[in-house]
Amino acid sequence: MLCRLGGRWLRPLPALHLRAGDPPLAPVPRSGARRPTLPVWAVAPVSAVDGNGWYEALATSSPVRVAEEVLLGVHATTGLPWWGGILLSTVALRGAVTLPLAAYQHYILAKVENLQPEIKAIAKHLNQEVAVRASQLGWSKRVARLTYLKNMRRLVSEIYVRDNCHPFKATVLVWIQIPVWIFMSVALRNFSTGATHSEAGFSVPDQLATGGILWFPDLTAPDSTWILPISVGVINLLIVEIYALQKIGMSRFQTYITYFVRAVSVLMIPIAAAMPSSLVLYWLCSSFMGLSQNLLLRSPGFRHLCRIPSTKSDSETPYKDLFVAFSSKFISRK
């Protein structure tokens, strides 16, 4: 039988007939039902996060599964509560992976800095040679400049290859650290939202719900006090400012990047406030380890231990210099 709706004749939907064994229909929520603690976008199934399925592919990828197994293994082996297991896993990853890579980054950058006098001398000599050749052959300024840049790039590349310190090697830390951070974050989100479970049969979300400490006993819920999110933003801003203070005469591009990272650090605060506390706890511990790592790599003794070459920019009192620079920029400024 047809019915008229909005000027169109529509056929009514057939009645639903449940058979034995069919799953029951979801009950209609009542006005007094308890609402989820997390926002809908924070607890949505991975298949509903993005219509293209890129997040689902990431959340079920092998690296994320490995991160989940690492977290479960640390929790099962040590017997620590989940907050302690998250902290221990973060410290272990930072100490075993990113700290050596950060030391190697400083090693490469120190060698590159020590080569700058030689590079400047070569640039001066090449500029004189190109000027003579341009005068002899009647080159235009454009041809002379292109010739200078082409040969300068070749000579600098040969110097970096000779000393095995190409600046691109200093970016290895970024290519390792960022994926590890993403995989661990997605693994903890999977645990907190129940998107995955262990093979042992116990419920990870139920354990996380009682695995917190202090003001965040439930690691599946966001931190209502905002202490964890604000701490994440403050520590990230400290890392940015320490980097900016040690750079003298930054280029315009470096200045734009610094402002961009500052904005991202502030934006992370409201984002972290909507995330499960387990995820934010990992972010906080990771940022704190990053800050400690940056300060440690300023120590002359540690740099000598890592065989990082000495440079003209090194200081015998790095922490005192940092405090003075920080005070003059933020405290003593009128």
Q: How many independent structural domains does the chain possess?
A: 1
More confident residue, 314 or 24: 314
| Span 222-239, average pLDDT | 91
More confident residue, 12 or 328: 328
pLDDT at residue 87, rounded to an integer:
93
Q: Does residue 35 sit within a domain? A: no
pLDDT at residue 318, rounded to an integer:
84
Domain encompassing residue 326: 62-195+210-331
pLDDT at residue 9, rounded to an integer:
43
pLDDT at residue 29, rounded to an integer:
43
CA–CA gap between residue 54 and residue 47 (Å, rounded): 9
More confident residue, 329 or 142: 142
Q: Does residue 84 sit within a domain? A: yes
pLDDT band at 286; cut points 50, 70, 90? very high
Q: Does residue 279 sit within a domain? A: yes
55-68: pLDDT as tens digits:
788 878 888 899 98
Pairs from 141-150 (Cβ < 8 Å, separation ≥ 24): none
Q: Does residue 327 sit within a domain? A: yes
pLDDT at residue 137, rounded to an integer:
86
Q: If we measure between CA atoms, which residue out of 269, 240, 260 comes closest to residue 330?
A: 240
* Contact (CB, 8 A) for 165 and 115: yes
pLDDT band at 249; cut points 50, 70, 90? low
Task: Please report, rounded to a whole number, the percentage of residues in the chain having pLDDT higher than 90.
Answer: 34
* Contact (CB, 8 A) for 268 and 73: no
CA 200 to chain centre: 31
Q: Does residue 44 sit within a domain? A: no
Q: If we measure between CA atoms, which residue out of 119, 98, 12 comes closest to residue 285?
A: 98
C-beta atoms surrounding 116 within 10 Å: 11
Which residue intervals of the chain are DSSP H helices? 40-43, 46-49, 54-59, 62-78, 82-93, 99-114, 116-137, 141-162, 172-193, 204-209, 227-245, 252-273, 277-296, 300-305, 318-326
212: phi then psi, degrees, rounded to nearest 5: -90, -165
Whether residue 218 has pLDDT greater than 50: yes
Q: Does residue 244 sit within a domain? A: yes
CA–CA gap between residue 258 and residue 250 (Å, rounded): 10
Report the SS3 class of residue 98: helix
Q: Does residue 282 sit within a domain? A: yes
Q: Does residue 14 sit within a domain? A: no
pLDDT band at 332; cut points 50, 70, 90? low
130-165: pLDDT as tens digits:
998 888 888 888 999 999 999 999 999 999 999 998
